Every structure is written in C-alpha cells, then in structure tokens.
C-alpha cells in the first residue's frame, strides 16, 4: 500500500513544472522525452488519452531513465494497474471518484489525485493525500482560487494544471501552496506534428529557467 504523501511531494518538488503529453507513438514519446531532458526538465506526465501511451511509458523509461515518468488521465482501477505494469513512476488523475481513491491507495506508486472543489479536496485529505492536482486550474479561477484554498487547507500542496502557459506559470509556481505547475505548452501539438523537437527543448529550457528564477 502506498499513498506515500512524502513521495508525491518529492516528485512534485523535484519537477517544478510538469509537461503533460499525449503521444501518437512510443517513438514520438521518446523524442519528446529526450527533448525535455535536453531542456533541463526532470519529469513528464504521459496521458492515457492515446492508444500509444503505455508503450510510450515503457520506451521512455528505457531511453531516458533519469526522467520521472508519470501516467496521467488515470480514471479507474484498470488504469492504475496498467500504469504499474508499464513501469510508471507515479500516477496523476484529473478528478477522483471513491473507487479511484481506493485504487490509488492500494497502488505501490505515489499519486497526485485530481480535485476541483473544497469538498473534493477534503475527501482526499481524509484519505491521507496531501498533494493534489487542481484541475482545470485556470477555468476554476486560477491564482485567486489557489490563494483562497491556502486558508482552510494549510497542509495542502497543489499541482495546478489546465489552461496555464509560459506567460503565467511563474505566478502559479510562486504561490506557497504550489509545488509544481502542469501544462502542455512545452509540447505544443503544432511542434509535435511538425517533428520540431528543438522547439520543445527551447520551451523546456525556458521552463527550467522559470523554475530556477522563482525558487531562487
């Protein structure tokens, strides 16, 4: 049994910015992973929104062992088991049903479960999760919502994701209750479609510089 809050916290702290990627093939996943590593990032979330996701996780783990590889868009117990079998380092979900919370608790992997509301956050805290993906962060009110959550939930740590870009990621990361900011801006679909991995590396390098600047 995991639900190791310290492990989830360590992953988010080490990552700082979490590129969220939907891959078309394992080969593409490896090319993206290499580009992110070249830019100085240390983690990737591969969403289960494409058939290639789990093969990509396996291939990325092999090609870039220094990269923490999470499986995202985990929605039910079957996804948890599939991510474990693929060798994922951690799990991320967009929201959390009671059944998914049980499956995450039963997993050996650290997880960052999703929540949008105070009641959903309270349910996760009751289960012992203290690191939560706030999704969809921008549509929920962005930084104003994150500040508002700090009062009632002083021990909660967030990974806001959804609608965040290079222009506002630093403002999110500067919030004391934010450990990591998630987003797909470093892996823009136009770049991936064009095979422009140099653009991915350049954006990842900007993200790395942003993390270092905010954290001093």
> What is the closest distance, in whole angstroms, from the C-beta atom of residue 5 to ligand 3PG in the complex?
21
Q: In the complex, which residues of this chain contact ligand 3PG (CB under 6 A)?
A: 20, 47, 72, 94, 135, 161-164, 182-184
In whole angstroms, the minimum distance from the beta carbon of 162 to ligand 3PG comes to 4
Spatial distance between the Cα atoms of 27 and 23, rounded to a whole number of angstroms? 9
Tell me whether residue 64 or residue 161 sits nearer to ligand 3PG (CB atom): 161
Pick from 178, 194, 148: nearest CA to 32: 194
Pick the catalytic residue: 45, 102, 120, 166?
A: 45
Distance CA 86, CA 51 (A): 13
Minimum distance from residue 22 beta carbon to ligand 3PG (Å): 8
Cβ neighbors of 126 (< 8 A, separation 6 or more) are: none
Given CA atoms 159, 160, 163, 169 in this order, what sign does their dihedral have? Answer: negative
Q: Is 61 a catalytic residue?
A: no
Taking the least distance from each CB to ligand 3PG, the nearer of 65 and 167 is 167
Whole-number Å distance between alpha carbons of 87 and 83: 6
Q: How far is the CB of 12 from ligand 3PG (least distance, A)?
A: 14
Identify the H or E element spanning 193.
helix 189-194
Specify the residue, 20 or 26, whose C-beta has the smaller distance to ligand 3PG: 20
Instruction: State how far the Cα of 4 lies from the Cα of 47, in Å rounded to an integer.
Output: 22
- Least distance between ligand 3PG and beta carbon 154 (Å): 25
The residue (of 16 and 152) whose beta carbon lies closer to ligand 3PG is 16
Which CB, 1 or 193, lies closer to ligand 3PG? Answer: 193
Identify which of 121, 209, 122, 186 has the alpha carbon closest to the alpha carbon of residue 158: 121
Q: Where are the alpha helices (DSSP H) in 16-161?
A: 26-39, 53-63, 77-86, 98-106, 118-127, 142-150
Identify the active-site residue in 27, 102, 120, 133: 133
* Residue 147 bears catalytic tag: no
Active site residues: 45, 133
């Amino acid at each position: 049994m995991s639900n190791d809050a310290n492990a989830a916290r360590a992953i988010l702290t080490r990552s700082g910015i979490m590129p969220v990627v939907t891959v078309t093939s394992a080969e593409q996943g490896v090319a993206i992973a290499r580009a992110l590593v070249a830019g100085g990032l240390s983690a990737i979330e591969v969403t289960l929104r494409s058939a290639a996701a789990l093969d990509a996780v396996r291939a990325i783990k092999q090609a870039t062992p220094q990269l923490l590889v999470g499986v995202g868009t985990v929605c039910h117990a079957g996804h948890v088991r599939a991510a474990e079998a693929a060798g994922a380092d951690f799990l991320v979900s967009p929201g959390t049903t009671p059944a998914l919370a049980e499956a995450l608790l039963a997993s050996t992997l650290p997880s960052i479960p999703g929540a949008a509301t105070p009641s959903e956050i309270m349910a996760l805290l009751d289960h012992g999760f203290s690191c939560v993906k706030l999704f969809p962060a921008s549509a929920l009110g962005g930084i104003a919502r994150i500040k508002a959550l700090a009062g009632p939930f002083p021990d909660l740590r967030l990974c806001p994701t959804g609608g965040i870009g290079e222009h506002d990621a630093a403002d999110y990361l500067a919030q004391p209750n934010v450990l990591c900011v998630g987003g797909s801006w470093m892996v823009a679909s136009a770049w991936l479609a064009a095979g422009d991995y140099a653009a991915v590396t350049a954006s990842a390098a900007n993200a790395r510089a942003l993390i270092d600047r905010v954290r001093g």
